[in-house]
Amino acid sequence: MLRFKLQELIAEKTFRDGKRVTLTELSEVTGINRVTLSKMINQRGYSTVTDSLDKLCDFFGCPIDQLVEHVPSSEPSKHK
């Protein structure tokens, strides 16, 4: 499963810039629907298009691994 670290990036940018970043502002700047951003934060296992990931990386000035983390959904099967 992929986990989006969007909330963490918003908090870091807010701290760094000294100005609160809202989902509405993020939506307006990136062109990503606010509902999509909300689902990325709140809906476990949400799937989005790579164009959105690209826009978010541009907005935050970060590589993809700071935005997305792979979390194994279960333990790998053990082979004998």
Q: Is residue 65 part of a domain?
A: no
Q: Is residue 78 part of a domain?
A: no
Task: Give the DSSP per-residue string, 45-72.
Answer: T----HHHHHHHHHHHT--HHHHEEE--
Q: Is residue 56 part of a domain?
A: yes
Q: Which domain holds residue 38?
A: 2-60
Q: Is residue 48 part of a domain?
A: yes
Q: What is the mean pLDDT of residues 74-80?
A: 58
Q: Is residue 66 part of a domain?
A: no
3-state secondary structure of 2: strand
In this prediction the pTM is 0.85
Structure confidence at residue 78 as a pLDDT band (50, 70, 90): low
CATH number of the domain that residue 39 is part of:
1.10.260
Q: What is the pLDDT of residues 11-65, one digit of tens each?
A: 999 999 999 999 999 999 999 999 999 999 999 889 999 999 999 999 999 999 9
Domains in the chain, number: 1
Q: Is residue 22 part of a domain?
A: yes
Structure confidence at residue 80 as a pLDDT band (50, 70, 90): very low
Give the bridge partners for 68, in sequence order. Answer: 4
Structure confidence at residue 73 as a pLDDT band (50, 70, 90): confident
